[in-house]
Chains A and B, each alone.
Chain A
Amino acid sequence: MDIKASDRFNINSQLEHLQAKYVGTGHADLNRFEWAVNIQRDSYASYVGHYPMLAYFAIAENESIGRERYNFMQKMLLPCGLPPEREDD
């Protein structure tokens, strides 16, 4: 592959492609909040996907597994609270 030939293959466009395809791929200007939000969403998705883990949480909180799954899915909306105010605006 000739890298110089086209811009399409430079590292930035590759990254952009990755970011579009795989949610959560980071970039150089990622801020702390965005990073944390990704981690949290990944974690909640993992808890929901791994049933034994869901059961483990359900026992700790004395809730049903169904309720625990619902709670985790609900938390995916704002996992780290409100985003910080943008400095540039």
Chain B
Amino acid sequence: MFLYNLTLQKATGIVTAINGNFSGGSKQEIVVGRGKVLDLVCPDDSGKLQTLVSVEIFGAIRSLAQFRFTGSKKDYIVVGSDSGRIVILEYNKLTNSFDKIHQETFGKSGCRRIVPGQYLAVDPKGRAVMVGACEKQKLVYVMNRDTAARLTISSPLEAHKSHTITYSICGVDCGFDNPIFAAIEMDYSDSDQDSTGLSAAEAQKHLTFYELDLGLNHVSRKWSEPIDNGANMLITVPGGGDGPSGVLVCAENFVIYKNQGHPDVRALIPRREDLPAERGVIMVSVARHKSLSFILVQSEYGDIFKVTLEHGNEGVTELKIKYFDTIPVTCSMCVLKPGYLFAASEFGDHALYQFQSTGDEPDAESSSTTMMELETEEGFQPVFFKPRRLKNLIRVDQVQSLMPIMDMKVYNIFEEETPQIFSLCGQGPRSSLRILRPGLGISEMATSPLPGVPNGVWTIKKNVNDEFDAYIVVSFASATLVLSIGETVEEVSDSGFLDTAASLAVSLIGDDSLMQVHPSGIRHIREDGRINEWRTPGKKTITKVGYNRLQAVIALSGGELIYFEVDMTGQLMEVEKHEMPGDVACLDIAPVPEGRRRSRFLAVGSYDNTIRILSLDPDDCFQVLSLQSVFSPPESLLFLEIQASTGGEDGADHPASLFLNAGLQNGVLFRTVVDMVTGQLSDSRSRFLGLRAPKLFPVNVRGRHAMLCLSSRSWLGYMYQGNFFLTPLTCGILEFAATFSSDNCAEGIVAVAAEALKVFTIDKLGETFHQTVFPLRYTPRKFVLQPKRKLLVMIESDQRAFKAEELEAAQNECFHALQDDNGNLHMEEVSENSELSDEQYGYPKAEVKNWVSCIRVLDPRTGETMSCLELEDNEAALSICIVNFNDKDYGTLLAVGTAKSLQFLPKRSFDAAYIHIYRFVDGGKLELLHKTQVDGVPLALSHFQGRLLAGIGNVLRLYDLGKKRLLRKCENKLFPSTIISLHCYRDRIYVGDIQESFHYCKYRRDENQLYIFADDFYPRWLTASQHVDFDTMAGADKFGNVFFVRLPQDVSDEIEEDPTGGKIKWEQCKLNGAPNKVEEIVQFHVGDVVSSLQKASLTPGGVECILYGTVMGSLGAFLPFSSRDDVDFFSHLEMHMRQEHPPLCGRDHMAYRSAYFPVKDVIDGDLCEQFPTLPMDLQKKIAEDLERSPAEILKKLEEIRNKII
């Protein structure tokens, strides 16, 4: 079996983000590292974040830094990754890509303890970069410019120190003196030797300054001083002329200012009122901008503090920490120039905030003071505060993120053409159920009902230079309605259009006149209001029309074509006639090329299943240039010019090409390339779009030509980052559509849906899935489908959290306290605070043993929670399944495995564990039938032959339903550690162990015995599993690998044929292993922890593939290849891509995909899909080696993608 790996949704979570002027303009951009993807993001004029470029780098991005030379206007990007190399990138605005400037190898690849890449620090003046490892190694590279102003990089200078752990590094701003880097370090050599524990207790973190002597080209330890042992982060303090220089050390509960020869200035971090006393506060992210005179730091609870330093001639005199605002915990924050704050959330959606104020007002809100004031008090008395609503920030945009995907299943609950992906996402209060549908989301701006069923809609400008449309014209069976677009959209009758007949086409023709084609003629309305009418000869009627800005062709009943052209004076003149062999099914004229008077190509579709390209040149008018036969009569034709672009947004430097698109009656969209000179058709591709013949409409998307295809689903064909995408839109069935542009909607679409007119816009291009989000209360763990009523039953649980009632009680108490103290004075504040959304502020932290959990029944159609059962006494729901016992009294039951006061550290322990059995009553409610105590944590439950199979710790047990409790029927205690997944098929049970991969078991009913007959060679730490077929399982491990294991055919047959079921052999197993071993047939490193696997087909009638969802919020698929030829083709393409296009950040592709186990039988589609981003000559070279043309390769890539989604 060969598989094709394709990422459907790139990671949505963020590891780290930096901001700067990467394109060199005045605009600020953000570079976002998403694990294995590097993105450039930029807020547009309306404050919406747009992704300009997104590159898969086939490595792990661990740190990012930006630097610029003095006097330069452009920032470079330094990437710290797992490649054992330092990589310096530059954003190239022209080609819209990242260019690799330098790549220097310094160590082994992989995320290792002593190989640098974990930390990056730059000199604020851009003269040097330090790259550090967790332990020992730190390297300094000196950056310089050569005579041509190109960036040069020195060989590395070592700043190593053995037996030393590094916690953080940063550059120290010391103007143009020698660059200095600061590091938090701890020497562990003594504590490793001393068994008394004395030296371990005395082990001290040090702040060390490393000075790079630019003259001597040498790095030396300049200064080292002990600091607080809770130190975890360093922040550069502006120096030179802008500030006091030095660093801020963020430690647990403290922020300390330190500099060489300067006394420490220390301040306590204010604490939340509800924070338990034993918990500390550490800072996790920082935002600083030159234009801001202060530094923003965020704590692990989400509170942002403003840190200000007061300094004079004697250095820093005061350090202030003031509560600023609270936003969800971030991994990185970036302050952008026009007053934006980009917050890259650790989990859940990211956001863009705008500063309302800088928190300068001297209100009584918790502001912590300097050491001097602290000393007057007894001990360290922190300042307390209560999180409040956003005061200084306001949210302007949100970027959806699936991170982390906890569970994912594919069902077609809504009975749509394609199934929906149900995914449980997020953590704690930011949890959600997200329903993903392949396609782009639309945002509807207006809907208005129409008096009848329309048969066409158009929008027109009055003049070719107008920015906005003037009219919307809607045609009905025997009338035409004209709506003028202004402040409001209203009907007008003075437009000059004939309103007593249906319209076949309405358009701007020439520079400033309008054309209306109706069945009995053409009305040409000049700018000054003169109307010229052309009437059809005899009793013939116009059936079809094709037009562009200067030309029009009509087809009369019987098959006669008449060609009109706008002449120099603006008159619409009849030019030529032509008789076609039969009725014309559809017509289209290619758009007029820039600077020409006419387009040469007319496409005519006929009912004899052909499409002809005719010439419109005066010398060979109506000459057939080429002919294409198709499977079914064409219904609609559209020429689409895909523009050559050497820059701007979609980057790739393709030559302009003209595509002819045809919607066929059998629902297929047929696309072929039209030769711009000869009109020859070549390179055809087809795709099934829906059950109705697709109608094609030209639209504009981001200023580029795009195509809307309306079948039983609506599709948008558009260019995005160099690739052509044909993506469904998540809107209902549309009949007709046209572009729409007015002053409050620059790039919209007006469409007819049944008897209504809809105006909508398409927001996020490049998105594969459209999300519908329903918020949940706690971290969701698993869910199942209740088959009868199609409800989702999910379990949510959180450690270290308070129950909703407890929180409410605490809040009420607080409310009363305030009332008692202050009477009515603070009522406003109280009501304000009680409405704080947990989503924004997080739940308060409780003790480790505290658990909250609930079982929720949710109707996915409405998002309504039918019932939500909160568990009591720190009981946490951990596993769930639907079970039908042989005893038919109760019907479908729900089994939930729970544990009380579960703790993972130092060892897994719990007070009690249970299996609950619930009954569904009144449809959505749950009623507890009984609760059975078990002796281990039940992490896996499954229905099996009318009984309940449970993985309880390392015991596999079969239960039957009793009146008061579950009854043990059979068990097997031979599993190595903990059972976390169960899959059943016939009498086989596929057991997933938390650290020992799969075990294949058999249940013998006659002997009532469970036994293991096969297991895996490798210890694999399973995180997800999926049953593929009778002998095959797919699994994913904690380290980011996906693998398939299969029981060899002969072994499988032997076991099935053996009357004892392999039992005798089983009894002879050796070394505690099973007698048979499964074989690894597929192996692949995804590079992200896969949290769920699912076998499904996302296209109607498509092949089933294995979908995977990951912790970083990405979705991908493994598609099995159906032919050997395809395997050969793609493996060769992959090989060439590996050679010609090594990954951006220096990791070897093959090594990355084989990071833990050698990659086996998987072709990486993500690499193959980078083919269109290669320069044209390289594309040609690879294509030649593959004995194909670049276009054929693109077609292949498109085809295989279409098979998956």
Nearest residue in A to B82 (C-beta to C-beta)? Answer: A49
B136 to A23, Cβ gap below 8 A? yes
B779 to A45, Cβ gap below 8 A? no
B779 to A41, Cβ gap below 8 A? no
Kindly state whether residue A3 has any CB partner on chain B within 8 Å.
Answer: no
Nearest residue in A to B60 (C-beta to C-beta)? Answer: A50
Kindly state whether residue A42 has any CB partner on chain B within 8 Å.
Answer: yes
Give the shortest distance, in Å, between B1177 (CB) and chain A (any CB).
37
Our pick among B60, B799, B1089 for the contact of A61 (Cβ within 8 Å) is B799
Given A49-B62, A76-B188, A78-B200 in contact, is the A23-B284 Cβ separation under 8 Å?
A: no
B801 to A62, Cβ gap below 8 A? yes
State the CA gap A55–B11 with chains docked (Å): 13
Kindly state whether residue B1073 has any CB partner on chain A within 8 Å.
Answer: no
The stretch among B111-119, B120-128, B1129-1137 that forms the contact with chain A is B111-119
B134 to A45, Cβ gap below 8 A? yes
Kindly state whether residue B1063 has any CB partner on chain A within 8 Å.
Answer: no
Interface centre among B111, B117, B798, B1088 (most CB of A within 10 A): B111
B195 to A82, Cβ gap below 8 A? yes
Within 8 A of A (CB), among B152-172: 162, 165, 167
Interface size bracket, B side: 35 or more
In this complex, how many residues of chain A approach chain B with their Cβ under 8 Å: the count is 38
A65 to B284, Cβ gap below 8 A? yes
Kindly state whether residue B681 has any CB partner on chain A within 8 Å.
Answer: no
B118 to A52, Cβ gap below 8 A? no
Given A55-B347, A76-B134 in contact, is the A45-B112 Cβ separation under 8 Å?
A: yes
Kindly state whether residue B800 has any CB partner on chain A within 8 Å.
Answer: yes
Kindly state whether residue B186 has any CB partner on chain A within 8 Å.
Answer: yes
B404 to A59, Cβ gap below 8 A? yes
Indicate with 1 or 0, residue by residue over B315-358, a CB within 8 angstroms of chain A CB atoms: 00000000000000101000000000000001100000000000
Given A61-B904, A66-B300 in contact, is the A53-B134 Cβ separation under 8 Å?
A: no
Contacts of A82 in B (CB 8 A): 194-197, 200
Interface centre among A45, A49, A65, A83 (most CB of B within 10 A): A49
Contacts of A23 in B (CB 8 A): 113-114, 135-136, 162
Nearest residue in B to A73 (C-beta to C-beta)? Answer: B167
Kindly state whether residue A46 has any CB partner on chain B within 8 Å.
Answer: yes
Kindly state whether residue B192 has any CB partner on chain A within 8 Å.
Answer: yes
B1088 to A52, Cβ gap below 8 A? yes
Kindly state whether residue B282 has any CB partner on chain A within 8 Å.
Answer: yes
Kindly state whether residue A9 has any CB partner on chain B within 8 Å.
Answer: no
Given A48-B134, A52-B1110 in contact, is the A37-B800 Cβ separation under 8 Å?
A: no
Within 8 A of B (CB), among A30-56: 34, 37, 41-42, 44-46, 48-53, 55-56
Our pick among B13, B114, B134 for the contact of A22 (Cβ within 8 Å) is B114
Indicate with 1 or 0, residue by residue over B1062-1093, a CB within 8 angstroms of chain A CB atoms: 00000000000000000000000000110100
State the CA gap A85–B188 with chains docked (Å): 17
Give the shortest distance, in Å, between A35 (CB) and chain B (any CB).
12
Kindly state whether residue A63 has any CB partner on chain B within 8 Å.
Answer: yes
Kindly state whether residue A24 has any CB partner on chain B within 8 Å.
Answer: yes
Our pick among B114, B192, B346 for the contact of A65 (Cβ within 8 Å) is B346
Given A66-B331, A77-B191, A83-B193 in contact, is the A49-B134 Cβ separation under 8 Å?
A: yes
B114 to A55, Cβ gap below 8 A? no
Nearest residue in B to A61 (C-beta to C-beta)? Answer: B799
B195 to A42, Cβ gap below 8 A? no
Kindly state whether residue B15 has any CB partner on chain A within 8 Å.
Answer: yes
Contacts of A61 in B (CB 8 A): 799-800, 904
Contacts of A62 in B (CB 8 A): 427-428, 779, 798-801
B1088 to A83, Cβ gap below 8 A? no
Kindly state whether residue B232 has any CB partner on chain A within 8 Å.
Answer: yes
B904 to A60, Cβ gap below 8 A? yes
Nearest residue in B to A49 (C-beta to C-beta)? Answer: B111
Within 8 A of B (CB), among A8-40: 22-24, 34, 37
State the CA gap A60–B13 with chains docked (Å): 17
A-B contacts, 17 listed (Cβ < 8 Å): A34-B192, A44-B134, A59-B347, A59-B404, A59-B427, A62-B428, A63-B800, A65-B284, A65-B329, A66-B282, A70-B282, A77-B188, A77-B191, A77-B203, A82-B195, A82-B196, A82-B197
> What are the 10 closest A-B residue pairs judged by CB atoms, nearest first?
A66-B284, A49-B111, A45-B113, A64-B300, A45-B134, A52-B1089, A85-B195, A62-B799, A51-B15, A67-B300
Name A's B-contacting residues (CB within 8 A): 22-24, 34, 37, 41-42, 44-46, 48-53, 55-56, 58-67, 70, 73, 76-78, 82-86
Other than the given A59-B779, A62-B799, 19 more pairs (CB < 8 A) read A24-B113, A24-B114, A48-B134, A50-B1039, A51-B15, A51-B60, A51-B1112, A52-B35, A53-B1038, A53-B1089, A56-B1038, A58-B427, A62-B801, A66-B285, A76-B188, A77-B191, A82-B200, A83-B195, A86-B195
